[in-house]
Amino acid sequence: MPAKVVVIGSLNMDLVTRASRLPRAGETLIGQSFSTVPGGKGANQAVASARLGAEVAMVGCVGTDAYGAQLRDALLVEGIDCQAVSTVDGSSGVALIVVDDSSQNAIVIVAGSNGELTPAKLQTFDSVLQAADVIVCQLETPMETVGHALKRGRELGKTVILNPAPASGPLPEDWYAAIDYLIPNESEASALSGVVVDSLDSAKVAATHLIKAGAGKVIITLGSEGALFTDGQGFEHLVAPKVKAVDTTAAGDTFVGGFAAALANGKSESEAIRFGQAAAALSVTRAGAQPSIPTLHDVQGLVSS
């Protein structure tokens, strides 16, 4: 049986527009297209893990609006266990996304129902956490809930992954000891460590800082430059596959979901990172968040080619 990955996090409806470039302050641009696409870092990572070979359960909240039903249905179609996806009064989370012609994006998130995922609500689904092999969290739900999830995962002896996104500053000091794998991108690593990450050398400095803070192992994703891994004993730079990017939305989520699925299914850390990189590389060649996430068959084809 495939291993169980439990993702605790956000479900958002992505409202996506494409424009020639990102707007400047006070500027109005004419957009090229508009679409609504199921997203949210938590849901994206759950979909990625499910498509990439894991049995997955999602823990989160959706609203009573039309988006809520659509977000839940999008997970159910992927075979994801949604018993811990609660419906709460009010609007679902949304993300307003602008993608430019160079495939870069700018995102504004409104938490909506994601803000209702409290520690008390999480405790009612403790049996879901107990059944996990790997627990994955991000930062689009209340901080106290994320902290509770990390520490509960450690108490249960699970493999705990934190993707600290979005990050605007250092994590609470008492979180680090509960994290097996901390997976920030360059800007998130900068926010967490206080080190400006703009090169491989500066990424090593930031990663060392995060290890000293107490994280078990650190993977800093570097976009087209690959990923840097450290366990505190040394560094490994894993080069990313070269592809032509169309849309980078959900690339990081695809990496995290793929890494979690591969790790849960017994792959080594290096193998799991390379698997996540291959999945992320395929995702940026397609538009959208969840629609861009590849399947296990897709990734196996890329890895074997």
- Taken as a whole, the chain contains a residue count of 305
CB 280 within 8 A of CB 292: no
Burial 211-240 (b: 16+ CB within 10 A, else e): bebebbbbbbbbeeebbbbbeeeeeeebeb
CA-derived radius of gyration, the chain: 18
Residue of 89, 201, 253, 298 marked active site? 253
| 65 a catalytic residue | no
Q: CA nearest 243: which of 286, 298, 185, 295?
A: 286
State residue 84 phi and psi, 5-degree precision. Answer: -100, 15
> Rounded CA gap, 287 and 270, in Å?
28
**Catalytic amino acids?**
253
